[in-house]
Amino acid sequence: MATHDSEKKIRVLLADDHTLVRQGFRRILEDDPRIVVVGEASTGLRAMELCKELKPDVAVLDLAMPEIGGIEAASEILKANPDIKILILSMYSNEAYVRKAFEIGAKGYMLKDAIELDLTRAVVSLAEGKAYMSPGISNLVIEGLKSGSLQDASQDPYERLSLREKEVLQLIAQGKSNKEVAALLNISVNTVAVHRARVMETLGIHRTAELVLYAVKKGLVHPQ
């Protein structure tokens, strides 16, 4: 098997917007002689570019990154390079995020508090063609399936929005312009416009006034 061949290491790309976090991941992974980190990215867009250029075996993507989050980046990466195995890292064990990650084709989802113990194991598992979920997530998914809450969540279009799209929705509902949202989230005005269009399409909303009403009903903002 390739992972045991000394000349054929598991090639990993790391994507997280914090340099120190990436350095920590690199140290953990490269302690294992089977693994080499071939590239690092601080944004989802850069991760997409590097995956196209470097074609790693495994891409480790943080869920929440500037411009494009890990799940959106993973979706684009897999369209271009379906052989890359994606591991999503997150602070959140939210069922909707876990489900979305696997829906778009990620093979692993890991909670950040388990990284020191399990990151290497997860990367090796993915490289060997297996899926990986942090134990806490596995239990959550099993309980969700038993209670039917996973199916219920999938019926709510709000749960299909990415983290970034939810942020954009909330700020627009607070009366912020695209330019103000861009400045607050440190993204371009064009990116805000794309997120705004996706939010409206996903929620089946056509006007900003309807968007504000939706956000009030959801409890995301309070009426003035």
Domain boundary among 127, 147, 167: 147
User: Domain check: are 24 and 118 in the same one?
Assistant: yes
- Domain assignment present for residue 85? The answer is yes
Domain boundary among 126, 147, 168: 147
Asked if pLDDT for residue 42 goes beyond 90, the answer is: yes
- Domain assignment present for residue 224? The answer is no
pLDDT at 94: 72
Show the 3-state SS of the chain.
CHHHCCCCCEEEEEECCCHHHHHHHHHHHHCCCCEEEEEEECCHHHHHHHHHHHCCCEEEEECCCCCCCHHHHHHHHHHHCCCCEEEEEECCCCHHHHHHHHHCCCCEEEEHHHHHHHHHHHHHHHHCCCCEECHHHHHHHHHHHHHCHHHHHHHCHHHHCCHHHHHHHHHHHCCCCHHHHHHHHCCCHHHHHHHHHHHHHHHCCCCHHHHHHHHHHHCCCCCC
- Domain assignment present for residue 189? The answer is yes
Asked if pLDDT for residue 134 goes beyond 50, the answer is: yes
C-beta of residue 216 within 8 angstroms of C-beta of residue 174: no
167 conformational bin, left if phi > 0, alpha if psi -120 to 50, beta if neither: alpha
- Domain assignment present for residue 222? The answer is no
| % of the chain surpassing 90 pLDDT | 45
Of 1-15, 54-68, 87-101, 110-124, least confident by mean pLDDT is 1-15
User: Domain check: are 79 and 186 in the same one?
Assistant: no
- Domain assignment present for residue 221? The answer is no
User: Domain check: are 19 and 52 in the same one?
Assistant: yes
pLDDT at 53: 95
Question: Which positions ≥6 away from 188 have C-beta within 8 Å?
Answer: 67, 182
135 confidence band (pLDDT: 50, 70, 90): confident
C-beta of residue 14 within 8 angstroms of C-beta of residue 57: no
User: Domain check: are 14 and 103 in the same one?
Assistant: yes
User: Domain check: are 14 and 78 in the same one?
Assistant: yes
User: Domain check: are 166 and 101 in the same one?
Assistant: no
Mean pLDDT for 171-192 is 91
- Domain assignment present for residue 223? The answer is no
Asked if pLDDT for residue 47 goes beyond 90, the answer is: yes
Asked if pLDDT for residue 220 goes beyond 70, the answer is: yes
φ, ψ dihedrals at 62, nearest 5°: -70, 145
**CATH code, domain with 181:** 1.10.10.10
User: Domain check: are 32 and 110 in the same one?
Assistant: yes
User: Domain check: are 48 and 120 in the same one?
Assistant: yes
User: Domain check: are 162 and 197 in the same one?
Assistant: yes
pLDDT at 211: 87
Mean pLDDT for 33-40 is 96
**CATH code, domain with 81:** 3.40.50.2300
Mean pLDDT of the chain: 85
User: Domain check: are 113 and 161 in the same one?
Assistant: no
Which residue segment(s) compose the domain that 65 sits in?
2-147
Asked if pLDDT for residue 152 goes beyond 70, the answer is: no
User: Domain check: are 132 and 175 in the same one?
Assistant: no
Domain boundary among 97, 113, 147: 147
pLDDT digits (tens, 9 = 90+) for 121-133: 999 999 999 999 8
As a whole number of angstroms, the distance between CA 124 and CA 131 comes to: 10
pLDDT at 143: 66
- Total count of domains within the chain: 2
User: Domain check: are 49 and 125 in the same one?
Assistant: yes
As a whole number of angstroms, the distance between CA 141 and CA 137 comes to: 6
